[in-house]
Chains A and B, each alone.
Chain A
Amino acid sequence: MVVQGLRARLAARLGSFSLDVELEVGGNETLVLLGPNGSGKSTCLDLIAGLRSPERGRIVLHETVLFDTDTGVNLPPEDRRVGLVFQDYALFSHQSVRRNVEYGPRARQLPRAEREQVIASCLARLDLTAIADQPVLELSGGQRQRVALARALASEARLLLLDEPFASLDATTRATVRAELRRFLRDAALPALVVTHDPLDAFVVGDRLAVIEGGRLVQVGTGEELLAHPRTAFVADLVGLNVYEAVLAPGVGLKEARAGTVAFHVLADALSGAVHLAFAPSDVALASVPPVGSFQNAFAVRVQESASLPDRLRVTLDAGVPMVADITREAASGLQLAPGASLWAMVKATSIRVYP
């Protein structure tokens, strides 16, 4: 069988912590490994990149066996063609953007003409041509991330690993860089494994999410799947977000953001055009009658399913777009929650986060 993308089975022991996961990333898919600090996600990247070796396991990338305890294969990092983008990017900060990007081609001893071509195209792809001769020290966080990506691409990486790609960015640039990275990963036609502890980053960047807790995968699936059917309370909390792509009207004050057929009313003076909306399931209130009062966001919804979590109910709704609500058992007692039932869902405009 032809294996495209990455297949990794990793078992490692680090002191009292044990890691045991199986990951699959499709040929041009972005899988996000989501978990709290100390859950073993960054270790997975080190193991796949070959910076450490698992005790047991097998790592296959596009039919090339990188590591296999059964056959004794263990390729060194330089032969794996795995581009690792470190949390702080680990750039050669005393050198220019170009020198950073050409490190890989030089190390791989590409012929000069081919090297120049690779470097030029990688610089162009990440929009770095204009600043190619600037020292990396003078760049912003977002630019540094682009240099790290260009450097990995230029080394002919066939898999990208990104460790907390937004952790060293400030809040204002974070949203922009996130959008850029998503675009880049969609176009890159490379399998990518992104590690993050932030569910919002995971939803925006990932095609699929793998939730890791204490060195074990607890659930793998698309954002919608995880949101609607969280298998543990931990996943429910971690991926507890309704996220939509929407088109936002220009102007200030309360304004309309249209996600498919549904119009949300939100506050986001600085933004317009294509945006994302996000709010937690716990920010959704349910009622059996239309609300009276100042609710700007009240939707007629239909119940698809309700799932019992240890401390609450998670109700999956069809509001024209999929929507998830977390409500207490007390709140649920007065509601008809059978599949197909009609309800009203309310969200405060101030609870909706808007970002590019």
Chain B
Amino acid sequence: MTWPTFRGRRTSYLHAAAAPLVFFLVFPFVAILLSLSPAHLFRHLFSEMALTALGLTLQTTLIATAFTVLTGTPLALLLARHRFRGREVLDTLVDLPITVPPVVGGVALLFAFGRRGLLGRSLEVFGLQLPFSTAAVIMAQVFIASPFFVKAARAGFEGVPVRLEAAARTLGASPWHVFWTVTLPLARPALVAGTVLCWARALSEFGATMMFAGNFPGRTQTLALAVMSAMESDLETALAVSTLAIFLGLGALILAKNWARRALRN
């Protein structure tokens, strides 16, 4: 057993080898945080632009997340529990927004729901104009972020033993009752982790929103877009909003990790 004597040296090599990437990932955030004094930070944080963007971001991301949970849960259940033709195709299509550049997602949304889009033309007949509205922000977020929820929820449902659901049925529970009393409680940690992940991705959404919703303060300008605008005129506001976004993202990650750990424990 020569392992223990080598172990100290091995891990120190490992530390050294891992360090560059850690530095590269962390240093930019540190640079932002050090760029503003706390006094400046707070002053710019409470600027009208920042507060409006924060309010809109929270409002749109929460609606987008709620919509995703409501519509994504049945989809995840379908993918996890039912064998049907084209299941793998459907699964791949649902994941597609993760790998396609968000800007392309925005273009796709425009050509579907825009004024000259496939469905947009019919919508316009009813006086409904989706592009460059707050609704468009939410649609862009759902388009980009919902696959993260569906993926997590599907894995969560797949982790619920089918035998337990079958046992519950034989004990007199209807499929609906089984879903609420067995499936959902057992999948809950994965569903919550997926919800937080989806919300976090919606928070950071930029490309599709820019393309499909534009950058109008108070209507479509979320935090990410506000940073973009502020960089051109007011650097300190840009830094303050960036700091805010960093802490929102960090909070979301900590929440998601916590729930993921719970899911593992079950």
Q: Could you list which residues of chain A lie within 8 angstroms of chain B, going by C-beta atoms?
A: 49-51, 76-78, 80-84, 86, 88, 90-92, 94, 103-104, 107-108, 151-152, 155-157
A90 engages B163 (CB within 8 Å): yes
Q: Can you list 29 residue pairs at the A/B interface with Cβ under 8 Å?
A: A49-B166, A49-B170, A51-B166, A51-B169, A51-B170, A77-B170, A78-B171, A78-B174, A83-B171, A84-B166, A84-B167, A86-B166, A88-B163, A90-B164, A91-B167, A94-B185, A94-B186, A103-B173, A104-B172, A104-B173, A107-B171, A107-B172, A107-B177, A108-B172, A151-B171, A152-B171, A155-B170, A155-B172, A157-B170
Cβ contacts under 8 Å, B164 to chain A: 90, 92
**A-B residue pair count with CB separations less than 8 angstroms:** 64
Cβ contacts under 8 Å, B172 to chain A: 78, 81, 104, 107-108, 155-156
B169 engages A78 (CB within 8 Å): yes
Q: Could you list which residues of chain B lie within 8 angstroms of chain A, going by C-beta atoms?
A: 161, 163-164, 166-174, 177, 181-182, 185-186, 266
B170 engages A80 (CB within 8 Å): yes
Closest residue on chain B to residue A109 by CB atoms: B172
User: With A and B bound together, what is the CA distance between A161 and B57 in angstroms?
Assistant: 56
A77 engages B166 (CB within 8 Å): yes
Q: A88-B163, A92-B182, A103-B181 are in contact. Are A82 and B170 (CB under 8 A)?
A: yes
Cβ contacts under 8 Å, B170 to chain A: 49-51, 77-78, 80, 82-84, 152, 155, 157
User: With A and B bound together, what is the CA distance between A134 and B138 in angstroms?
Assistant: 47
Closest residue on chain A to residue B173 by CB atoms: A107
User: With A and B bound together, what is the CA distance between A35 and B205 in angstroms?
Assistant: 60
User: With A and B bound together, what is the CA distance between A157 and B171 in angstroms?
Assistant: 8
User: With A and B bound together, what is the CA distance between A348 and B196 in angstroms?
Assistant: 69
Counting chain B CB atoms within 10 Å of each CB, the highest count among A76, A80, A84, A88 belongs to A84
Apart from the given pairs A94-B185, A155-B170, 13 other A-B contacts in the complex at a CB distance below 8 Å? A51-B166, A76-B174, A77-B166, A78-B172, A80-B170, A83-B171, A90-B163, A92-B182, A103-B168, A103-B171, A103-B181, A107-B168, A152-B170
Shortest beta-carbon distance from A206 to chain B in Å: 22
User: With A and B bound together, what is the CA distance between A86 and B161 in angstroms?
Assistant: 12
Shortest beta-carbon distance from B202 to chain A in Å: 31
Cβ contacts under 8 Å, A156 to chain B: 172
User: With A and B bound together, what is the CA distance between A84 and B174 in angstroms?
Assistant: 16
Counting chain B CB atoms within 10 Å of each CB, the highest count among A49, A91, A107 belongs to A107
Cβ contacts under 8 Å, B186 to chain A: 94
Shortest beta-carbon distance from B72 to chain A in Å: 25
User: With A and B bound together, what is the CA distance between A108 and B177 in angstroms?
Assistant: 10
